[in-house]
Structures are given as structure tokens and as C-alpha cells.
Homo-oligomer: A and B are copies of this chain.
Amino acid sequence: MTVHDSLLALMPRRLLAELKAIGARRHFADGQVIHTQQTMSVGLSIVLHGRVCFGLYTESGDYYLTAILGAGHCFGEATLFADRPRAYHADAFGDTEILSLTQRQFDHLYKREPRFSRAVTATVTQRLYEALDFSDDLRHRSVEQQIVRLLSRVQRLGGFGDGVLPMRQQDLVFSLGVSRARVCQALDRLRAAGVLETRYRTIVMLASVNG
């Protein structure tokens, strides 16, 4: 299994204090919107504590969760380097604190502090190759295995040590691009195999299986 470190995990601790001194810290209550899709806001955000849910709204107004990032992870890199709008809708899961750097603040620190730039590049690189891995091998696995991999990733990136993931089956339907009936069937089998349990709006991973 691929290991992916968060931005903060890749930085010396000293740098975090510096980041906090430079950037703006914002608090969000559970469910509060952090930014909406397509917004042109620019800046790097770092999750100090809590979690951020990323999702997409379809043309028909439905919402789908695509990722959850826990403490230490960053997002918004693409707005700094690619002049892109926010690709996903983001809102807080539980009480959450976000550290934000403006483009100017980021650029200054990036130029002055190689350990910071190095950590940024490292985390983005790891995410890129993990994503390539993921899509290359997901296509050759059963829906059951795809679900396990997807959930394992959410568990790891979101820091859900207990395996209790706030996901709807509909989110899996969207992420995997198969029918709801197929997802239900696959979950049945995974339940029977003792891999997971399902609850209302919740999936519980029973072991750190890497299928």
C-alpha cells in the first residue's frame, strides 16, 4: 500500500509555528461552508484540526462526497500554481480550524524557506503518484475491492482511526460510476465477509484491509 504523508507531517515542527504567525486562522462549525465550487479564491489552506469534506454538485443539484482531509493536510495548491477555480465544494466536518496563506504569503515563505517548499512538493508528488496508482489499478479490480480501497483511502486521509466513515452509499455510486444496485450487492458481500458494517449515512471499516 502506498504511504502518503500530510504537509505538516513532512515539515519540521518549528516551521508550523512560523506558518501560524504568518497565516490567518479561521474556525468553522460542523457543516459550515469553507468554499464553494468554481470560486476563484486563491490561497493555500492547511487543516490544523478537524476535517474538511470535499464534494461536487451535479447539474441536477445532487451532492457527492469525493474526499475528506484530516489534520495536517493541505488543499488549494492548484489555485496557486494553475490559476484554477476551486475544483470542489468544501465544508467542515466537526469543529475545524483552517490556516490560510494568501498567494503573497505563500510565495514569500516558499522562496525563503526550502523546507517549506520541499514539504509542499513532496506532499503533492506523493498525492499525484498515489492517484495514478489508484486509477491504474482500480480499473482491474472488482467493485468489492474498489470499495475497500476507496474507503481505506478515506480512512487514512481523513484520520478516521476508528474506521467510522461518514459516507453514504450514494457517494460510492458516484465515485465508482456503477449502479446503486451493484454497490448494495457489493456491500452485502463485504458485510458477509466481515470487512465492514453499514449504518445510516455511515460505513464502518472493521479492519485495515488492503484489498
Write the residues of chain A forming the contact surface with B, with a CB cutoff of 8 angstroms.
2-3, 56, 66, 77-78, 80-82, 84, 87, 110-111, 114, 117-118, 120-122, 124-129, 131-136, 138-140, 174-177
CA distance A138 to B2 in the complex (A): 23
Q: Find out whether the CB atom of A136 lies under 8 angstroms from the CB atom of B81.
A: no
22 sampled A-B residue pairs with Cβ under 8 A: A2-B84, A66-B136, A78-B126, A81-B121, A81-B122, A81-B125, A81-B126, A82-B122, A110-B114, A110-B118, A114-B117, A117-B117, A121-B124, A124-B125, A127-B128, A128-B128, A128-B131, A131-B131, A131-B132, A131-B135, A135-B135, A140-B174
CB distance from A167 to the nearest CB of B (A): 16
CB distance from A95 to the nearest CB of B (A): 27
Given contacts A111-B114, A114-B111, A120-B121, contact A129 B87 (CB under 8 A): yes
Residues of chain B with a CB closer than 8 A to A78's CB? 125-126, 128-129
CA distance A56 to B140 in the complex (A): 13
Residues of chain B with a CB closer than 8 A to A2's CB? 84
CB distance from A7 to the nearest CB of B (A): 12
Q: Find out whether the CB atom of A117 lies under 8 angstroms from the CB atom of B121.
A: yes
Residues of chain B with a CB closer than 8 A to A132's CB? 87, 131
